[in-house]
Amino acid sequence: MGHLVRTLVLSGFGMTICGGSYPASQGEHLISHYIDMFAPQSRPAHFHGEQVAVATLTMAQIQEAMLDGAPPRLSARSTTREDLRQRFGNEIGEACWAEFSTKRLSAELAERLSARIATRWSDLQQSLRRAMIPSATLADVMMRAGCPQTPEAIGVTAALYRRAVRDARFLRDRYTFLDLADDAGRLAALS
């Protein structure tokens, strides 16, 4: 309980300092929000924390896969406003475009970031690995606590969950590992 309280307090401090939920709400929360928005209404209700737990395992696996490889080479994605309107419908698509367009990489920025990542890759890998909990450890803790670990355990089909992992990045303006993996052309293979 002490570790949980400490983590929650530090999370609260981080959000206060940043002026938003960025430190405590990344790709795992985006996936959960996507599920809330697009799962069938007939789906039984599940707690937000259960959805985030399943998505946390996914994000840990994506992070591990990205860190195990060579430095990601980013490229500007060709996603347009019309793509998002077709994917999400006009109203949600417009809202998603407003969020996504603020973090959308230009070719020049993708090139600069790729070069910067490449020069610091070893340090980034070491720093991130020190801070992260391996997905196998997370899965073991969740299993012992009786937490759901799969999309099916939270009433979500594999197809909907794959769409959630692929498309959740468009819901908010924060740049997460979902964006990094997609901008590196690897998200589809990892989801």
125 within domain boundaries: yes
On whether residue 90 sits in a domain, the answer given is: yes
* Range list of H helices, 19-131: 27-38, 48-68, 81-88, 90-100, 107-131
**Gyration radius from the chain CA atoms:** 17
Q: Is residue 4 part of a domain?
A: no
Q: How many CB atoms lie within 10 A of CB 182?
A: 23
Establish if 140 belongs to a structural domain: yes
Confidence (pLDDT) at 8? 67
Let me know if residue 127 belongs to a domain.
Answer: yes
Other Cβ atoms closer than 10 A to 35: 25
Long-range pairs for 11-16: beta carbons < 8 A, 24 or more residues apart: none
pLDDT at 14: 66
- pLDDT computed for residue 61 by the predictor: 96
Distances (CA, A) of 154 to 32, 69, 131, 138, 160: 10, 31, 28, 17, 12
- Provide the residue range defining the domain that includes 64: 28-36+46-190
Positions of the chain with pLDDT under 70: 4, 8, 11, 13-15, 18, 20-25
Residue 67 lies in a domain: yes
Average pLDDT, rounded, for the chain:
91
pLDDT at 1: 73
- pLDDT at residue 17 in the model: 73
Residue 190 confidence (pLDDT): 87
pLDDT at 150: 96
Query: What span, in angstroms and rounded, lies between the C-alpha atoms of 165 and 190?
Result: 9
Return the structure tokens found at 73: 């080479």
Residue 146 parent element (H or E):
none
The pLDDT tens digits of the residues spanning 80-108 come to: 999 999 999 999 999 999 999 999 999 99
Cα–Cα distance for residue pair 170/97, rounded to 1 Å: 7
What is the reported pLDDT for 23? 58
Tell me the whole-structure pTM to 2 decimals. 0.89
* Total domains, the chain: 1
Angle at 65 between CA 63 and CA 67, to 5 degrees: 65
* pLDDT of amino acid 166: 96
Please check whether residue 64 is in contact with residue 135, taking contact to mean a CB–CB distance below 8 angstroms. yes
Q: Is residue 9 included in any domain, yes or no?
A: no
Domain assignment of residue 85, yes or no:
yes
168 and 34 Cβ atoms separated by less than 8 Å: yes
